[in-house]
A = this chain, B = another copy of it.
Amino acid sequence: MTDLQDILQQIRDFIQESVIPLEAQFLKAGFSAVRPQALTLRQQVKEMGLWAPHLPPEMGGLGLSLHEFAHLSEVLGTSPLGHWVFNCQAPDIGNMEILHLHGTAAQKERYLAPLVRGEIHSCFAMTEPEHAGSNPVWMSTTAVRDGGSYVINGHKWFTTAADGAAFAVVMAITDPEAARHRRASMFLVPTDTPGYEHVRRIPIMGEEGEDYLSHSELRFHDCRVPRSALLGQEGDGFVIAQQRLGPGRIHHTMRWIGISQRALEMMCQYAAQRELAPGEPLARKQTVQNWIAESQAEIQAARLLVLDAAAKIDARGSKAARVEISQIKFFVAGVLNRVLDRAIQVHGGYGLTDYTLLSFWFRHERGARIYDGPDEVHKSVVARHLLRPYGVRI
């Protein structure tokens, strides 16, 4: 644990000294405006030996358990640039895992290696505008076998980071007659494949974003890929997606805790410095004190809950930790949204401007209660599990 504490402190310092100074420019002019400096930071991270920390040592990572990586993810999450600078941003982090487990040697060389090196980025195309994301087995995109190829047709959206991506991992129905969870397969589709159309970056909460901080609409028009584009076996799509989810939720929720923690610190700092009248700081107001205390308690509770889930996944796998995984998804999203709301209220008008990170997070993390399954779906999962011993099937 000492090592981990050292690493965490190193990352904390680096975020503080090197990443946070880029934020003002990022907020003002977008990611592309800070990309050059951020690339320099990536180089420094490599030199520090902390690059892609989630990966096993043989792939150049730190070989951390999920429980250990969770601690890093919180620290990285305190800045919207943190994960990217360490090359462990979603969805690349998930795609690396998929390619590592299910890619062919050729795919690994051609796509995984440059992804790990940070030379390209990728996206993950699952959600479709016509179908509720909360029902992951219901989709219309199809991949039909035709000789040695698959021909993909369909419509996706909320494909994070498709802007500028070198390839997409695409979920498509290969057998509509199969059992519910065996209908879909996963394909690696280079974005220069004919028939792959990047329609647009979707304007979300006031901006289109760019690069890994954007979500796109895609269309597939007779998009032909070789059979080797198939990841895993035909029909494995849902299973592979599920495997990703456990660790993916730990990553997201710990990032949210990082955000919440930073927002709490901003709240304290602003309340201490902002005066309501000469010599009377906002922090003297009991309402503000209540918000600070409630946020602190909720964040610490959320942190422990996620770490506990991560430890369970490490010990017994994602399937055994299903309840814990659903539980953290809605619990932490709720904490995040409440803490951001309080931080904005403390900042008053200033908190509404794009001069602080609060507006950025308030807008883009409202989705935390929606993406990867809305709160309501996760609550049903938990309730179903708890009710089963009493003979109820829901």
Q: Which residues of A contact B (CB under 8 A)?
A: 28, 127, 129, 132-135, 138, 157-158, 202-207, 264, 268-269, 271-278, 281-290, 292-294, 296-298, 300-302, 304-305, 308, 323, 326-328, 330-331, 344-345, 348-355, 359-360, 362-363, 366-367, 369-371, 374-376, 378-384, 386-387, 389-392, 394
Please tell me if the beta carbons of B387 and A374 are within 8 angstroms of each other in the complex: no
Please tell me if the beta carbons of A370 and B348 are within 8 angstroms of each other in the complex: yes
Q: Which 10 A-B pairs have the closest CB atoms?
A: A206-B206, A272-B390, A289-B383, A293-B379, A293-B382, A304-B304, A203-B354, A301-B301, A286-B286, A297-B331
Q: B363, B366, B371, B383: which contacts A293 (Cβ < 8 A)?
A: B383
Please tell me if the beta carbons of B206 and A359 are within 8 angstroms of each other in the complex: yes
> Which residue of the partner chain B has the closest CB to A381?
B293
Please tell me if the beta carbons of B206 and A207 are within 8 angstroms of each other in the complex: yes
A133 to B350, CA, bound (A): 10
Please tell me if the beta carbons of B297 and A382 are within 8 angstroms of each other in the complex: yes
> Which residue of the partner chain B has the closest CB to A138?
B277
* CB-defined A-B contacts under 8 Å, sample of 28: A132-B276, A132-B277, A135-B277, A157-B349, A203-B355, A205-B206, A206-B206, A206-B207, A206-B360, A268-B387, A268-B390, A269-B390, A271-B387, A272-B387, A273-B390, A283-B383, A286-B287, A292-B383, A293-B386, A294-B379, A296-B386, A297-B331, A300-B305, A301-B304, A345-B370, A349-B367, A351-B370, A352-B366
Please tell me if the beta carbons of A285 and B203 are within 8 angstroms of each other in the complex: no
Please tell me if the beta carbons of B349 and A392 are within 8 angstroms of each other in the complex: no
Please tell me if the beta carbons of A370 and B352 are within 8 angstroms of each other in the complex: yes
- Within the oligomer, what is the number of copies of this chain? 4
A204 to B383, CA, bound (A): 29
Please tell me if the beta carbons of B344 and A366 are within 8 angstroms of each other in the complex: yes
Chain B's nearest CB lies how many Å from the CB of A60? Answer: 34
Please tell me if the beta carbons of A376 and B272 are within 8 angstroms of each other in the complex: no
Whether A354 touches B205, Cβ cut-off 8 Å, given contacts A292-B383, A305-B297, A379-B293, is yes
Most buried by B among A326, A328, A355, A383: A383
**A286 — which chain B residues lie within 8 A by C-beta?**
285-287, 376, 380
Whether A282 touches B132, Cβ cut-off 8 Å, given contacts A349-B371, A392-B271, is yes
**A283 — which chain B residues lie within 8 A by C-beta?**
383, 387, 390, 392, 394
Chain B's nearest CB lies how many Å from the CB of A163? Answer: 15
Q: B273, B327, B363: which contacts A363 (Cβ < 8 A)?
A: B363
Please tell me if the beta carbons of A349 and B380 are within 8 angstroms of each other in the complex: no
Please tell me if the beta carbons of A359 and B205 are within 8 angstroms of each other in the complex: yes
**A394 — which chain B residues lie within 8 A by C-beta?**
283-284, 289
A167 to B282, CA, bound (A): 34
